[in-house]
Chains A and B, each alone.
Chain A
């Protein structure tokens, strides 16, 4: 009787263990941070691209209108893919595009914009990546849709047709 109980418990233990590992294998082990939506925008000071002027986040996002903060860099290939969507968004009068130039060389960034056009109303510099961390970003490109100084949508990776339409819908 005792050996039977031990045998059954061992079988149950290994079946449970197998199921845990099986489910675990099927799950992706790449973690994506949760989008903390409706959070207030972080407070920071940033240098304006190609100038010596510094502006605070309160000055940059002073209106209650829509803003799209786009983290980009000239060395980032997916940034080129999303650029057409940014140019299209620029035409929408309900939104202002703010660029955050991430760990880039000034000359390369200028070439990038002259080649693909500049969709941004203002470009901020993030020379050491610390401002991006204040935003909770961990790569380029990433975009944050802001309304009334709150992040209402976060896009990790390049803006595509789907996310572009979602932004347009939110702007209406």
Chain B
């Protein structure tokens, strides 16, 4: 019986650690995608400014409250604007930003393909 109880305790402890680790990973993931408004050019994760440290606590609190990653981004977007996110959303303003690399890749591919075809002929 003692061994059984010990096993249950071990399982509980290991699972608890896993939950904690996944929460920590999520905090790191989110804060790496947030721009620090004080040390502009650094992510909130990398920055040690007062603002960044407070934001790390807020992100952790929001996760504890049960908020999802997207909900946390939306919350911060309403407070500081979309600029706080390193990964901008696909909107009218960001069409070129998102689509230009794909377009350039396709054009480049088409040129290479055409040249190869000419060479083979």
Q: Which residues of A contact B (CB under 8 A)?
A: 29-31, 33-34, 36, 39, 103, 128-130, 132-136, 138-139
Contacts and interface: CB of A to CB of B under 8 A. Distances in A.
Contacts of A130: 54, 57-58, 61
Q: Is the interface of A mostly helix, strand, loop or mixed?
A: loop
Contacts of A30: 40
B70 interface: no
Interface of B: 35, 37-38, 40, 50-51, 53-55, 57-58, 61, 78-81, 83-84
Nearest to A29: B40
A103 B50 contact: yes
A31 B83 CA distance: 8
Contacts, number: 48
B58 A33 contact: no
Contact of B50 (A29, A39, A129): A129
A30 B79 CA distance: 17
Contacts of B55: 133
Contact of B78 (A31, A36, A132, A138): A36
A39 to B, nearest CB: 8
12 contacts: A29-B40, A33-B37, A33-B80, A33-B84, A128-B57, A130-B57, A130-B61, A132-B54, A133-B54, A134-B79, A136-B78, A138-B38
